[in-house]
Chains A and B, each alone.
Chain A
Amino acid sequence: MGGLQKKKYESGSATNYITRNRARKKLSLSLADFRRLCILKGIYPHEPKHKKKVNKGSTAPRTYYLLKDIRFLLHEPIVGKFREYKIFVRKLRKAYGKGEWSGVERLRENKPAYKLDHIIKERYPTFIDALRDVDDSLSMCFLFSTFARTGKCHVQTIQLCRRLSVEWMNYIITSRSLTKVFLSIKGIYYQAEVLGQTITWIVPYQFAHNHPTDVDYRVMATFTELYTTLFGFVNFRLYQTLNLVYPPKLDGPGEASLRSGCDEDYALDSESYSEKLSALSASLARMVPVMEEEETQLDHFPAEGEDLEKMEAREKAELERDAQKNLFEGLKFFLNREAPRESLAFLIRCLGGQVSWDKSLCIGSTYDVTDETITHHIVDRPNVDKQYINRYYIQPQWVYDSLNAKMLLPVEEYFLGVTLPPHLSPFVEETEGDYVPPEKLKLLALQRGEKPQEEDEEEEDEEEDDDEDDEQSEEDEEEEDEAKLTEIEEKRTKGKSLPVKVTPGKVKAENRTKAEQEEKAEEKRLAIMMMKKREKYLYEKIMFGKKRNIRDANKLAAKRKAHDEASKTDKKKKKKC
């Protein structure tokens, strides 16, 4: 009669998963400790393929962890540390209650501490793995470094975050690996390419935070704990790759000591060094003195077909990248005090420019406003009292847009008091059928090196709007053109109507193409009819998505058109007035 009857849910997927509560009981941890452990070890719930099978026939919503993950946690030394900590807290509380102050002190001194090094090593066995996952830690550290030193979390954490983020920025400056930047309403997005990995992070604008009440800071703190550890190791390794000293030291100590006199006013002795580092104005010390870097030429391999195209594209990208790296080489910037100093200094230094600011604004300024060699003065106010002749006064957006465009954009549109052109996201890569804003098209044309006349004319139109005569003459010309056209058409129609002969040769040809198209469309329709049910569903879904995209694009285009027309009429009205 065969073997024993197999029981349900004793093998297969039901045994591979474990619910969160059961996992917690298995590890005998409190929910908070379990959460911390999961965060630190990177254990996350899994969605089983067949929920009902795993849930023993029930469809109640539950979170499942892989049983293997939980088993893996059982032998984690940090679980022991958690227990020690719990005991420590209990002892401390007792000592406090009894008023044994010496005991409290002793306990405090022997507070159990744990290190996360092994966890980092285990989660990211190779450096590249770590680098790939560094996005979130960057954003988090940058956020924490902007927190006030009081309240929400430990001062040490904030200081550490600040230190690490400054280290990171210094690394990016030294390696010149910033590729994109975007001023959004949420914050400033940066994107860098570090050792072939694209890393994106967001930095909030420099304002005091309004701490929300519905955010669990313990969770954030746990994440930060992990992230700072990871981030520190990543920084160390990155500095090593560039032969930089870690922790970072400024290059040229003589200069630093020279200026130390005035720095004392600004910050305490203990802090002035880190502040100077964070000013981002000086370059870092290297372990090995810098050799003149030889540009490593890409080796050429014989390639054919697609490979060749790819190769060419790669080479082109490489060239562009190099150009972007040295975009601001030789330019000297001065930041007015209302411009966001840190972000701009970071950007300018990343692109090889020199930057300075008012001495009273921040530590580490290298030259004064009066410096004659300054080429660009970045101002974020409608006008400046005293203007020097031999420099451009521009708004900060120029720096960001130039970085994204990988070229020095014409400064005219960014002068003081001028309405800025829209700031576009560099992260959007339009595929076929997507809506492309006209500014982007213009930019692409500029990048290609074209100076399309049309646009020039348009610009001129916009600029020379004052000259009414010109425009009127143009309009007249247009009118004349139209009149001519109509005349020609009339003639043609007359020519047709007089002789009764009909020569529909051309029309037929068009019909043929049309007929062909129709035929093809019909073929397609018939083929769609013959699809299987499942495929048809999928096809319809895809087509629905495509149609929605097209609709969205059309909507945007229509909106733009309406806006342009409205602005044009406004202009004309103004002109008439």
Chain B
Amino acid sequence: MSKLKSKKRNIDENEDEQLPIFEKDSGKDGHLDDDDDDYEGQADLSDSEESVFSGLEESGSDSDDEEDEEEDDDNVSGLKSSDVEEDERTGEDVQLSTKDITEPQSDSKGSKDKKKKKKKSSGEKKEDESVTMTSQRDEGLKILSHVDEYERDSSDEEVNASKLLLIWRTVQDKMTGADIRLSDEQVELVRRLQQGKFGDVNFNEYEPAVEFFSSEVMIHPVTNRPQDKRSFIPSLIEKEKVGKLVHAIKMGWIKPRRPAETTPQYYDLWAKEDPNSILGRHKMHVPAPKMKLPGHEESYNPPPEYLMSEEERLAWEQLDPEDRKLNFLPQKFACLRAVPAYSRFIHERFERCLDLYLCPRQRKMRVNVKPEDLIPKLPKPKDLQPFPTTQSLVYLGHSSLVRSISVSPSGQWLVSGSDDCTVRFWEVSTARCLKTLEVGGAVKGVAWNPNPSVSLVAVSFDNTVLLLNPGLCDRLVSNSTDQLISSYEDPEESKDQPVQWTVSEGEDHEQGHRLALQHPKAVRQVTWHGKGDYLACVMPDNTSNLQVVIHQVSKRRTQNPFRKSKGLVQCVSFHPIRPYFFVATQRYVRVYNLIKQELTKKLMTNCKWISSMAVHPGGDNVICGSYDCRLAWFDLDLSTKPYKVLRHHKKALRGVAYHRHYPLFASASDDGSVIVCHGMVYNDLLQNPLIVPVKVLKGHSVTQDLGVLDVTFHPTQPWVFSSGADGTVRLFT
């Protein structure tokens, strides 16, 4: 109880708290309050009735009532909180109240029931309530609902009990509109229907069932009808049918069903083998390859070397199953008894099945060649002698990379220009440095005048090209050269020249300097014409048209042959016999006719970047070295495309050279090797030219990714000189 009280108190507090809000709505809730009052009044009434009719009630029940009341109070508060709930409840309560009224004679049990119903109204859900709810929905109880409505309508009015008694029994007939007062029996009927009972009071639902067909055999039959005659006489129709079947069996028309054959029958399928029956399909058939046969490592007791070591096993485990070379781990068992089942046996069979029907098949021509057969048959290098084979001399002295070398036409002297700003003159046969000249910059190119009657060397560094008289050769030649230079007389009308010619005097003259040509740009390469009068210089520059200049030494004249730039000029060369001029740009070699002053040919080298070029002394062939490791060999009569491209070197080519007499050419590369090739062109035009590499010469060491920088042949002997980034010049004989 105390608990309940405290609960109530709580609720009261709640009420207090909620009060202001409800005060606002008080006008609206007015009639509800009335309802409550009404309800309470009814409740009281019922209570009083209860007390009247239930003399057996104990004090405990009273307390229950109190509780109920309290709960009702609760309800009140709850009602205030939600309208809908309240509506429902009031409806029910009204019903209940009416019920109370309708059964004034009901015993204490009934009152208890009612009480329970009251409890239900206080919020708890019980089965009975659901029953009433459903019964409300019943068609038969419409009448009662009418009564409720009526009551509700008249709830405002002040009614006394007797009048109410009459009113709730009154029902409006829908057909006639007249009020009908229900008799006691009718009310009882309604009540019974409401309770879900049969309308008839006397009807017993639970009468014991009479079993007609039971396990017990009764003495008397259910029906007294005698059996038909036909049940004793066999059917004629059946007889006819059976007779037919018997006849059919007799005649062998119907045979018993053969037992299903489970085991397949085998016979000689290939008894009549007909080779002609082989279909065309079989010719297209690609038979599946057989399973690979196992090796020693698959043995249950393999030799010890086939077992995997620890690292190998780890590596094997880390590989993807598809990438593994073996699809199992080799294992060793001491005896056959110890060998376990192979867990992947079914898998492997299954995979084989998949391969057989899913794997696309294709005929592949297996290359069945011996590697020796692939190597082309070349003439033996021995038969193609002479060519340089061994390194015989090393010319030491330069302290930096030697960019360029040149041999005197007599073959006695060698000149080399290096990045250490010196030009050195060597005696070929002894490797002795005879002369060292300091010049004002890193020497890019040196070129000995090919005319044996003139002793001049062209040296290019920075913007200057220096013509030197080394004074090493025959004194006569040297003097005549000096005379040739000094005999020059200035022409009357001086032309505007892109290059400034100055005669060296004083100390320079002593050292051998004769003429200095000041160019507007840095000069990279110098080459002489075969006759020794013309000198071509290359000043690579992509933007201007002044990339190549041709000097005439005897007249100290300079020409700029090209009006337009066709790209970055890499190197130039004179045709040895005819008035042609070769200009190599980055990708093409253009051949100009100097007399007609026109372009005669454009050679496509198929290279990315030409580095060097050499023309055969016969003038029919040109070789081009490129930075992309190729050497293109052209036959000028044949085509503008290379007759042969050689990819012998591993790194960029730096220099190429032709021998003047022998059918040899050499290429120098950054991989530190010089490759000498035999390049024979036959007079018989039907025979293809023979190009065979004959010797790989090694000796230069690679420094700063640069190997051999220049290569040149001796004019008479089959010797080749090479200069490298390691500051040496080497002679191979």
Contact = CB atoms under 8 A, between A and B. Distances in A.
Contacts of B268: 233, 236-237, 240
B270 interface: yes
A531 B693 CA distance: 11
A237 B269 contact: yes
Contact of A143 (B269, B336, B345, B694): B345
B284 A66 contact: yes
A458 interface: no
Interface in B340-372: 340-350, 352-354, 356-362, 367, 369, 371
A538 interface: yes
Interface in B253-311: 257, 260, 262-264, 266-270, 273-275, 277-279, 281-282, 284, 286-288, 290-291, 293-296, 298-306, 309
B210 interface: no
B696 interface: yes
Interface of B: 257, 260, 262-264, 266-270, 273-275, 277-279, 281-282, 284, 286-288, 290-291, 293-296, 298-306, 309, 328, 330-331, 333-337, 339-350, 352-354, 356-362, 367, 369, 371, 374-378, 380-382, 646-648, 692-696
A538 B375 CA distance: 11
B360 A46 contact: yes
B371 A542 contact: yes
Nearest to B349: A143
Contacts of B350: 215-216, 219-220
Nearest to A126: B273
Interface string A39-62: 100011111010000000000000
B322 to A, nearest CB: 15
Contact of B353 (A69, A204, A220, A546): A220
Given A125-B275, A183-B299, 15 more contacts: A39-B353, A117-B269, A125-B278, A132-B287, A136-B352, A186-B294, A209-B346, A219-B350, A233-B269, A420-B301, A423-B302, A425-B298, A428-B296, A523-B381, A538-B367
A570 to B, nearest CB: 13
19 contacts: A39-B353, A39-B357, A45-B361, A68-B284, A109-B257, A121-B270, A183-B301, A200-B290, A200-B291, A233-B269, A236-B269, A246-B266, A419-B334, A428-B295, A523-B378, A529-B648, A539-B374, A542-B371, A560-B304
A47 B646 CA distance: 37
**Best-surrounded residue of A44, A72, A220, A437 (most CB of chain B within 10 A):** A44
Given A420-B335, A523-B380, A527-B378, A184 B270 contact: no
A526 B294 contact: no
A35 interface: yes
A53 to B, nearest CB: 15
A120 B269 contact: yes
A420 to B, nearest CB: 6
Contacts of B299: 182-185, 422-425
Interface in A350-379: none
**Best-surrounded residue of A126, A209, A525, A563 (most CB of chain B within 10 A):** A126
Contacts of B281: 68-69, 72
A64 interface: yes
Contacts of B374: 531, 535, 538-539, 542
B346 A212 contact: yes
Contact of B305 (A207, A528, A557): A557
B334 A420 contact: yes
B692 A526 contact: yes
A20 B115 CA distance: 81
A351 B374 CA distance: 48
A437 B305 contact: yes
Nearest to A562: B305
Contacts of A205: 339-342
Interface of A: 35, 38-39, 43-47, 49, 63-64, 66, 68-69, 72, 109, 115, 117, 120-122, 124-127, 130, 132-133, 135-136, 139-140, 143, 156, 160, 182-187, 189, 200, 204-205, 207-212, 214-216, 219-220, 223, 228-229, 232-233, 235-237, 240, 246, 338-340, 380-381, 395-397, 419-420, 422-425, 427-428, 437-439, 519, 522-531, 533, 535, 538-539, 542-543, 546, 556-557, 559-560, 563
Contacts of B284: 66, 68
Nearest to B332: A422
Given A72-B281, A160-B264, A529 B693 contact: yes
B387 to A, nearest CB: 12
A572 to B, nearest CB: 18
A150 B264 CA distance: 21
Nearest to B644: A530
Contacts of B380: 523
A438 B270 CA distance: 48
Contacts of A560: 303-305
Contact of A530 (B301, B345, B352, B692): B692
Contact of A556 (B301, B305, B334, B349): B305
Given A143-B349, A563-B304, A527 B376 contact: yes
Contact of B294 (A122, A214, A427, A563): A427
B298 A125 contact: no
Nearest to A422: B303
Contacts of A212: 346-347
B316 to A, nearest CB: 15
A185 B346 contact: no
A205 B336 CA distance: 10
A47 B342 CA distance: 33
Contact of B295 (A233, A425, A533, A538): A425
A187 B346 contact: no
B293 A427 contact: yes
Contacts of A556: 305-306
Given A125-B282, A186-B328, A538-B367, A397 B301 contact: yes
A539 B306 CA distance: 30
Given A215-B346, A530-B378, A380 B335 contact: yes
A60 to B, nearest CB: 14
B514 to A, nearest CB: 45
Contacts of A182: 294, 298-299
Contact of A186 (B303, B304, B345): B345
A47 B360 contact: yes
Contact of B362 (A47, A68, A214, A232): A47
A346 to B, nearest CB: 15
